[in-house]
Structure 1
Amino acid sequence: MAKDTLSEITGLPDDLGIGDDLARSQQRVSIRVDSRRYGKPMTVVEGLDLPDDELSSLASTLKRTLAVGGTTTADGSIELQGEHGTRLEAALRDEGFDVET
């Protein structure tokens, strides 16, 4: 019989996945809008402390939710084409992040 491992964050079994939710809610994510080539807006999500695979998955979810193109960067940011203030904030809160405004 395998012994359940306990989360270092919550002290509860890892199988419950509560530690992941708690870790996400403790991150302070910021949203800013940059101007790119030809004056096109680019929304940047910063402050994410996620492994590369989770960052890519989150970027895919946000792109699908907002119906936009985008990418992840080497410094752990997500860049989305266009300006998506309140819709992006709501989408990040739905994913369990605390968003700075």
Structure 2
Amino acid sequence: MADDFSKVTGLPDDLGIEDDLRRSEEVLTVRTDTRRYGKAMTIIEGFEDGEDLRELASSLKRSLACGGTVEGDTIELQGNHVARVPDLLREHGYAVEER
């Protein structure tokens, strides 16, 4: 896949442009869900397979001062953070669908 981008853009592979382009093409959705004991969870979905979500989840948890986990291809954050998460994801280069 990296070869495809370098042929199209003419830029060297060392720049890592393929990661930025892949992120910008993904459209993530952010929603809330109610879990055990009526606690709110913020769910982030729409990631492609093979993406390192643990690093992104860690960054989001630090920024939001909350707990959370990665379940398959989704990130789950404790609490209702729907208002702040889209902006944080955009800072990381992702496109977010507004709901």
- What is the TM-score when the length of structure 2 is the normalising length? 0.88
Figure out how many residues of one structure are paired with residues of the other and give that number.
Answer: 94
Residue 57 to residue 50, structure 1, CA distance change in 2 (3 Å): farther
- 1:1-101 maps to which residues of 2 (within 5 A)? 7-11=3-7, 12-51=11-50, 54-74=52-72, 76-101=73-98
- What is the TM-score when the length of structure 1 is the normalising length? 0.86
Unpaired stretches in structure 2, ≥5 consecutive residues: none
Q: What root-mean-square deviation, in Å, do the aligned CA atoms of Structure 1 and Structure 2 show?
A: 1.4
Residue type of the alignment partner of 2:94: F
Distance between the aligned counterparts of 1:50 and 1:95, measured in 2?
18
Q: SS of the residue aligned with 2:54? A: helix
Identity %: 50
